[in-house]
Amino acid sequence: MKRYIFVTFCISILVSLLLVACDRDKKKGGENTEVEDTPLEAPAFDADSAFYFVKAQTDFGPRVPNTEAHRQCAAYLKSKLAEFCDTVIAQEFTATAFDGTKLQSCNLIGSFAPENPVRIVLASHWDSRPWANADPDEGNQKKAIDGANDGASGVGVLLEMARQLSLKHPTIGVDIVFFDVEDYGSDGQSDSWGLGSQYWSKHPHREGYHAAYGMLLDMVGAPGARFRYEQISATYARSTLTHVWNIAERLGYGGTFVAEAAHPITDDHYYVNTIAGIPMIDIIHQDDNTGTGFPATWHTMNDNIDHIDKNTLAIVGKTLLCVIYNEK
C-alpha cells in the first residue's frame, strides 16, 4: 500500500496541528483526560513470539492471492486464531482486481467473548504485494514481495496479542480481523486497494456488528519506526488516536508514537470508517525522507524478515495490550 489523499491534506494538517497544540495545553493546564498516575496493567508481550509469527508467514513465500503460498498461509492463520480465540470465522469471497483478475480471497476473524456487546476491533492485512514496483532494481519490479513489514508485521503482533488474550481475557469483547487483498491495487485507482476491508465493511462477519472503535496495524516492524497522527484517523477517530498515543507516551514510547501530523492514507481503516461506520485509527509507519513516503523497504524485495525489528514489534504490542486491559 498505500496512497496519499492530497485533497484534504492541507486542511487536515492545519486541524491536526491545532488539536495537537490543544492536547499539549490541556496537559499543561491539568485538563488532560488521561489519569497519568493510574498504573497501566497488562499481560506481558513476548517480542520473540511476535517475531516467530511474522517469520512463519514469510516462510510460506509471497502471500499473493490465487497462489499456493496464499492458501497455505490462510490455513495457518486460521489454525492459530482457532488455538487462541473463542470463535473463528473464515469469510471467503471472490474479489475483482483493477485489471479484472478474479482473486480467491479470505478475511479471517477471531473473536474473544463474542457475546459481550462492548467491543473493539483490531486489524491488519495478511496478503502481500504481487509486484516490487518500488524496487530500485528494475529487474525486480515484477517480482512478488515477502511483505514482512507490509502485512506480516501487523499480523504477527496481533497473533501474539491473541495469545495473551487467551491467557487472560479482558473485560471487553475483542475481534481480530485479518484483511485479505489489501495490496493488489494500482496507483491512480484508490478503491483498487483494500478489497478485503471493503468487503468486510459491507458484509460484516456478524449481522449488525459494531465496535466502539478499531485499531489497524500496518508496517509496524521496521527498526526505528515512527508512528504519527495519520489524518484519516484524526478525522474519524481523533479521541482514539490521542488516547493510544497518550498510553504510549506513559509507557515511555513517545519517540515511537510521535504526536505530529502525517499524511492521510487510503488504507483499510478508510473503508471501516466510511462504510462500516466504526471509528478506526491507522498505526502506520510513514517516512518523509525516502521519496515514497514509506519505509525504504516498502514494495521492494528488501521487505523481508531481515528488516524486522523485535523492539518495534514489542513497543506496538505492549501499547495496544495496555489500551485493551485498561479499557473502562
Report whether pLDDT(99) > 60.
Answer: yes
Is pLDDT at 126 greater than 70 in this prediction? yes
Which candidate, 4, 206, 180, places its Cα nearest to that of 93? Answer: 180
Q: What is the pLDDT of residues 184-219, one digit of tens each?
A: 999 889 899 999 999 999 999 999 999 999 999 999
CATH number where 139 lies: 3.40.630.10
Split into its structural domains, the chain has a count of 1
pLDDT at position 24 is 45
- pLDDT category, 3, cuts 50, 70, 90? low
Q: Is 108 helix (H, G, I), strand (E, B) or coil?
A: strand
What is the pLDDT confidence band of residue 328, given thresholds at 50, 70 and 90?
Answer: confident
Under 8 Å between Cβ of 306 and 240: no
pLDDT score for 289: 94
Q: Do residues 172 and 208 lie in contact, with contact meaning Cβ atoms separated by under 8 Å?
A: no
Range of the domain at 286: 3-325
Q: For residue range 61-87, what is the model confidence (pLDDT) as tens digits?
A: 999 999 999 999 999 999 999 999 999
pLDDT tens, residue by residue, 33-64: 455 667 899 999 999 999 999 999 999 999 99
**pLDDT tens per residue across span 157-170:** 999 999 999 999 99
Q: What is the pLDDT at residue 188?
A: 84
Report pLDDT for 37. Answer: 66
Strands annotated E in 66-101: 87-96
Q: Rounded to the nearest 5 degrees, what angle is found at the Cα of 176, between the Cα atoms of 175 and 180?
A: 130
Pairwise CA distance, residues 184 & 217, whole Å: 18
Q: What does 55-116 look like in DSSP terms, one character per residue?
A: HHHHTT----TTSHHHHHHHHHHHHHHHHHSSEEEEEEEEEE-TTS-EEEEEEEEEEESTT-
Is the pLDDT assigned to residue 136 strictly greater than 60?
Answer: yes
